Structure 1
Amino acid sequence: MDLVIIWYALVVLCWVLFFVLEGFDFGVGLLSPLLGRDEHERAAAVRTIGPFWDGNEVWLVAAIGVTFAAFPSWYAALLSGLYLPMVAILLLLAGRGVALEFRGKHDDPRWRRRCDLVLAACSAGVVLLWGAVLTVFVRGLALDAGGAVQGGGLGRTVAPVLTPAAALGALLALTAAVLLGATFLALRTTGPVRRRAGLLARRVGTAGAGGALVVAVAALVVAAGTTAVVAFAVALALAGVALLAGRRREGPAFALTVLGVAAAVVAVLTANGAVVLPSTLSGAWSLTMDGTAATGSTLRLISFAAVIVLPGVLVYQVWSYRVFRQRVASERIAT
C-alpha cells in the first residue's frame, strides 16, 4: 500500500483517538459542576478522569506532530489559516490543566468550586472551538495557487470559525461532548452522579434523535438524499444511546457514543476524498493528499519511528484504563 495513504490513515487515527478520549474528558469537565450537588460528588466526577486526562491529551500532540512530519504543507496551511483559534484552544487546554492539578492543592471549598467552574468553562470553550475548526477541514480556507492563506489582519484567522457552518459544528461538538461525558460518568461512578448522568444521557440522546429526525425529513423534502441518510443514521444512533442509558446499560451506551464520535471524525477527515484542504477561491488550488505529503524517504524514515513508538503508547493507555477500571463512589460511604 502507498505510504502516503498509510500515513494519512495514521493521521485520521490520531485525531479519532484525541476527539474520543479527550471528548469524554471535556464532557466530564463541563458536567461535573452540574451533576455534582456538593463537593464530594463533584470530586468524584473529577476523579474519574484524574488518571487519564493528561495521557489522553498526548494524542493531540501526536495528531499535530504526525501531520507536520507526513504532510508539512497541509500543516502549514492549517496552522497559519487558523492561528488565533489554535492559540485560544491551547490557552484553554492550559487553563483546564491548571484547574485539574490545582483543585486539590488548597483545602478550601470556595477554591475548589472556582477550580470546578474554570474547568467547566475551559472544557466548554475547547469543545466549541474544535467543533468550529473541524468545519474548516470540510469547507476549506482561502488558499491561493501556492497554498498560502489569503487575507490580512485578525479577520484572516478568525473569519473561518465565525460562519453559520462553524456555529453548527460547535453546537454538534458540544452535544457530542455532553453525551460522551454523561455516558462515561454513568459507566464510571456509583450513587447519585451515576443516576443523574444516566438520566442526562437519556434526555440528550432523545432530544438529539428528534432533532436529527427533523433534519432527515427536511432533507428528503428538498431531495438531499445523502444528508437524509446521514441524519437518519445519527437519529438511530442517538435513539440507541437514549434507550441503553434508560435501561442502565452504561457500557453499551458509552461504546455506541464512542463509535458515533469516531465515525463523525472519520467522515469529516475523508469528506473530500484525496483533497485534504479545499480552497474556497478555486478548486484547482485545493491541497491534496499527494501534493502535501513529505518525500518518500522522509515517510520511510518516520515509519520506523512509528512502528517503535505507537504500539508502546497504545499498550500503556490500555493498561492504565484497565488498572483504574473500578467505579468511583459519589455517595458517602460510612467508615
Structure 2
Amino acid sequence: MGFGWPLMIARRTNLKLKQTIALQSQRHMSRLVLPPPKLITIDAFGTIYTPRPTVAEQYSNLYAVHFPLHDQIDPETLDASFKVVFKSLQQTHPNYAGGERNWWCRAIRDTFRTAKAAAFIDNDVAEDTEIFVLALYNHFNTGAAYALWPDISSFLAAIPAQTRLGVLSNSDTRSREVLRGLGIIAEETSDQDGAKNKSWIKTESHVLLSSEVGVEKPDPAIFETAVRVLVGEDDWPQSQPQSQDLQLQLQQQPEITKIDALNTAREILYWHIGDEAKRDIQPVITHGHGRLRGWGAVHIKRANECGDSTPGGHVVLKHSGTIIEVSDLRDIQGLWMTGVEVDVEE
C-alpha cells in the first residue's frame, strides 16, 4: 500500500472529524429574528468610541510636548497611576461630584503626581503644570482624541427606522461634543433627519448622561428615565419592584428551554448595548422581572482595547433570552431583518 497510505487515512479521518464538529455546532445553533424594538440605547465610551491612541499614551505624548526638558514618563506607568486615581475618585466623588471640569483636572493632577512626574514635583513650574492640566482636559473634549469602533457605523445603519435610538452613558457632558465630532450626533446646521451627514442621533436630547439624570448605571432609574424621555411615559410597562416572594418563585421555576429563551428575546421592547457587565448588563439580569421588565441587553465583548474589531464571531443568547453576547456588533446587525444564528445557552 505504500508509505503514504497511513498519512492519507489520517487526513481523511481529520476531515471527517472537522465535518462532524461543524455539523454538531450547526445543530446547536438557532436562527433568531427579532421584531423592531421600541427603543435601543447604547453606551458611549468603550462601546461607540475608544481613545486612540490610548489615554495613557496621549497623556505621555502631551506631557513630552509641554515639558521637553523633564524626564518623560512611559505610558505603562501613567496607565497604572490613572487606574488607581480614577477608581478612587469614582468612590469619593461619584457622578462627577463638584463639577466635571474640576473632577477631571484633579484626576489629571493626581495621575501625574502618583506617577512622580518631575514637572509636578518641581515647584518652579507649578503655573506651567496648571496650563498643561487644562490643555489635556480640553484635548479630550472633542472627537480628535477618539475613534469609532469599526463595527458601529454599519450596526447603527441597520437599526429599523421605527426604532428610537438613544445614548445612555455614565460619561460627562463632553461626550456630546465627542459624539458630534465623530459624526454620531447630527450637526445643528444640518437637517435633523441625519440625511446630509449620515448621523444617527438626531438631537442632543437623545443623549442621556448620568451627570444630568442624577443617577449612574447600574441604577435601574436611569433606564426608566430613558423610556420616559425617548419613548414616552405612557409606554412604560406597568411593573413593580421584585418582592422576596417573587424572587423565590423565579428561582424555583423549571429550567428554561431553548424555545422559551428565543420567545423571550422576541418579546423584548427595549435593548441596551454596552461593554461593561456590571453597569450595562447586570441591571437587566437583576431587575428584568421587576422595574426593568421589557428590557434586554447586548453585551459587546471585544477582543482588545486597541480600536480593532473583527466580525465572524460567536453570538450567544443567555439568561433565559434577555442577554445577547457578541464580540462584534456587525454579527447581529441582521437581527431585525433576516435574523442571525445564535447559540442558545440553556
TM-score, structure 2 as length reference: 0.26
- Bigger Rg, structure 1 or 2: 2
More helix by share: 1
TM-score, structure 1 as length reference: 0.27
More strand by share: 2
